[in-house]
């Protein structure tokens, strides 16, 4: 059976790490919807020079965002340019929640996401997958962890990638992004009524993956 698995939660809860592993184990495609919003943010910074709403809307108008699953992970292209690493910079992270709050941006990304999930056998992660993009998903999971732990994980990840980051700044940025994502008018970050809540603060990656696979059985 080709199921559809929706994983939502705040920044740094470990969604992409566990979603990727679970998808691999199930032989499913992993779809990172955050990367798509990051792609729009990247194009705005790159082509518009300003980040006003009008600039964001110009950037999204005829954007071509694609995700490709490869052995080394998801590759992201925007209008044919590989932006896999560029969409993770602090500059993109800084504006992405504002970009993702705009209706035309969401409409376009959600439409693409639904097409990608049409044939099933997908694990999709994001903020509104269980509530809005795929309300009929077979399995819905809402992953959380304390803000301290989520900041610690992001700090390690960014340090590994060679970015000079300050822990408190990172924690502030995560808290601010969560606030913007939870308080926006359209499809805010929230747990779907039928999603299983998993607090990963004290769980290992293996524990979380095992629990997700159990729910898929
Ligand atoms: O998952 P990631 O942290 O890369 O997502 C970046 C941003 O994209 C989030 O903070 C949120 O503003 C937005 N997003 C969204 N809906 C999704 C996925 C991401 O609004 N389904």
Share of the chain above pLDDT 70, in %: 100
- Kindly report, residue by residue over 23-33, the tens digit of the pLDDT: 999 999 999 99
How high is the ipTM of this complex?
Answer: 0.99
Pocket test for ligand 1, best of 34, 124, 173 (most atoms within 8 A of CB): 34
| DSSP labels, the chain | ---EEEEE-STTSSHHHHHHHHHHHHTPEEEEHHHHHHHHHHHHHHHHSS--HHHHHHHHHT--EEEEEETTEEEEEETTEE-TTGGGSHHHHHHHHHHTTSHHHHHHHHHHHHHHHTTS-EEEEESSIIIII-TT-SEEEEEE--HHHHHHHHHHHHHHTT----HHHHHHHHHHHHHHHHH-SSS-S---TTPEEEE-TT--HHHHHHHHHHHH-
Quote the mean pLDDT of the chain.
95
Q: How confident is the model at residue 113 (pLDDT cuts 50, 70, 90)?
A: very high
Q: Is the separation of the CB atoms in 113 and 123 below 8 Å?
A: no
Q: Is the separation of the CB atoms in 198 and 144 below 8 Å?
A: yes
Burial class (CB in 10 A: 0-12, 13-18, 19+), 175: middle
Is 144 annotated as a binding-site member? no
* Residue 105 Cα to ligand 1 middle (Å): 12
Measured from the Cβ of residue 103, the count of other Cβ atoms closer than 10 Å reads 11
Tokens coding 103: 């209706």
Q: How confident is the model at residue 110 (pLDDT cuts 50, 70, 90)?
A: very high
Cross-strand partners of 116: none
The protein residue with its alpha carbon nearest to ligand 1, atom 4, reads 34
- Kindly report, residue by residue over 36-72, the tens digit of the pLDDT: 999 999 999 999 889 999 999 999 999 999 999 888 8
What pLDDT, on a 0 to 100 scale, did the predictor assign at position 210? 97
- Kindly report, residue by residue over 115-165, the tens digit of the pLDDT: 999 999 999 999 999 999 999 999 999 999 999 999 999 899 889 888 888
* Residue 58 Cα to ligand 1 middle (Å): 20
Q: How confident is the model at residue 9 (pLDDT cuts 50, 70, 90)?
A: very high
What pLDDT, on a 0 to 100 scale, did the predictor assign at position 206? 96
Residues with CB under 6 A from ligand 1: 11, 33-34, 37-38, 96-97, 100, 126-129, 177, 181
* Residue 189 Cα to ligand 1 middle (Å): 9
Tokens coding 149: 């732990």
- Kindly report, residue by residue over 84-98, the tens digit of the pLDDT: 999 999 899 999 999
């Amino acid at each position: 059976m080709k199921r559809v698995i929706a994983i939502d939660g705040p920044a740094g809860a470990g969604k992409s790490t566990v979603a990727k592993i679970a998808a691999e184990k199930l032989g499913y495609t992993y779809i990172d919807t955050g990367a798509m919003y990051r792609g729009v943010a990247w194009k705005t910074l790159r082509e518009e020079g300003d980040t006003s709403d009008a600039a964001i809307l110009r950037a999204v108008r005829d954007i071509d965002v694609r995700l490709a699953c490869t052995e080394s992970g998801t590759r992201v292209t925007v209008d044919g340019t590989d932006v896999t690493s560029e969409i993770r910079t602090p500059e993109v992270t800084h504006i992405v929640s504002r970009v993702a709050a705009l209706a035309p941006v969401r409409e376009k990304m959600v439409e693409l996401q639904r097409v990608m999930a049409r044939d099933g056998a997908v694990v999709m992660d994001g903020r509104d997958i269980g509530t809005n993009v795929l309300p009929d998903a077979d399995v819905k999971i809402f992953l959380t962890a304390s803000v301290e732990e989520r900041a610690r994980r992001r700090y390690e990840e960014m340090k590994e990638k060679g970015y000079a980051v300050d822990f408190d700044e990172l924690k502030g940025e995560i808290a601010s992004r969560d606030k913007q994502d939870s308080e926006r008018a359209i499809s805010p970050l929230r747990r779907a009524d039928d999603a299983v809540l998993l607090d990963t603060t004290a769980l290992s990656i293996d524990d979380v993956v095992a629990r997700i696979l159990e729910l898929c059985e």
